[in-house]
Homo-oligomer: A and B are copies of this chain.
Amino acid sequence: MTDTITITGVVGTEPASFQTSGGVPMVSFRLASSHRYLDRKTQEWVDSPANWYTVQAYRQLADNVRGSLHKGESVIVTGRLRVRTWTKEERSGIAVDVDADAIGHNLVLGVSRFTRVKTSVE
């Protein structure tokens, strides 16, 4: 599938909750990711500069993210990338969003305890 991406990174802002205009629960947070690579000149492993994304989740995933994730925690996010152009008064720019299909704490860096949430939708 085009534009799908999986990112392992660090939650950079406390997740913020909203409702869409249609009343759908939504959550949003900033995510920073970097990777280690072998520098050909120095032959040493170094960290790349971080990529920053705005992660968005909806419905049950939004509710569970709000009850689970905090700034500074390590996570996996998989979803679809969206590169948007925005304009605001005389300024414009590019925003890099990920519409998340799934999000979880990354067990490379810690342990997690899971509690299933029952929903009427399932």
Where the two chains meet, the residues of A that have a C-beta atom closer than 8 Å to any C-beta of B are 1-9, 33, 35, 38, 48-49, 51-53, 57, 60-61, 64-65, 67-70, 73-76, 78, 80-84, 93-96, 101-117
Which chain B residues border A106 with CB–CB below 8 Å? 102-104
A37, chain B: closest CB distance, angstroms: 9
Q: Is the interface of A mostly helix, strand, loop or mixed?
A: strand
Q: A3-B33, A69-B107, A110-B115 are in contact. List 15 more A-B contacts (CB 8 A).
A: A1-B101, A2-B33, A2-B35, A3-B51, A35-B80, A51-B81, A51-B82, A60-B109, A64-B107, A68-B112, A104-B105, A105-B105, A109-B116, A111-B114, A112-B114
**A–B Cβ pairs within 8 angstroms, 17 of them:** A1-B1, A1-B4, A1-B78, A2-B7, A48-B82, A52-B83, A61-B108, A68-B107, A68-B111, A73-B116, A74-B116, A76-B103, A103-B104, A104-B104, A104-B105, A105-B105, A105-B112
